[in-house]
Amino acid sequence: MAVRQIQAICSSARATWKIHAISVAHRLGAVPVGETSVFIAVSAVHHADALDACKFMIDELKATVPIWKKEVYSNGEVWKENPEFMERRSMEPAGKAVDAPNVACRRICCGAKSKVSDESTACEMNLE
């Protein structure tokens, strides 16, 4: 579900701005404090298109992709929900389908890692 939603965000950005290429990476598994968990890169002829698309994509990723994290402390652990996602989700009508482009998904290592690439949209996604 998360992969399809990120692909839909890539397609939406491509439809809105004149973009040459998009690359998205979201880490899976343990991410030490202070390390990067999300990476979005956009190339375009005009920097304003690339910057606007990047801002849109990170905002949409946080608001529409179902990602939760477990914070581990010395005295225990807690699952945290993404507040932007939960807020957006509460405003959507029930049963709303998510449109996603037809992009092949190749899974590696039991689905723990994924790389998605589509020449027609030049949207590349790496999950590590």
Tens-place pLDDT, residues 34-92: 888 889 999 999 999 999 999 999 999 988 887 777 778 888 888 776 666 666 666 66
Residue ranges and CATH numbers for the domains of the chain are 2-127 (3.90.1170.40)
Secondary structure percentages of the chain, helix, strand, coil, to 5? 35, 30, 35
The region that residue 34 occupies, defined by phi over 0 for left and psi between -120 and 50 for alpha, beta otherwise, is: left
Helices (H) and strands (E) in the chain, counts: 3, 7
pLDDT of 112 over the 80 cut: no
Q: What is the DSSP letter of 96?
A: P
Percent of the chain having pLDDT more than 90?
A: 33
| Percentage above 70 pLDDT, the chain | 62
Q: Given this model, what pLDDT does residue 107 score?
A: 30
**pLDDT value for 34:** 84
Angle at Cα 8 formed by Cα 95 and Cα 22, nearest 5°? 165
The candidate with the shortest Cα–Cα distance to 4, out of 87, 88, 95, 102, is: 102
Mean pLDDT throughout 95-114? 36
Please check the confidence at residue 98 and state whether its pLDDT lies above 70.
Answer: no
Position 80 scores a pLDDT of 74
Closest CA to 69 of 116, 35, 28, 19: 28
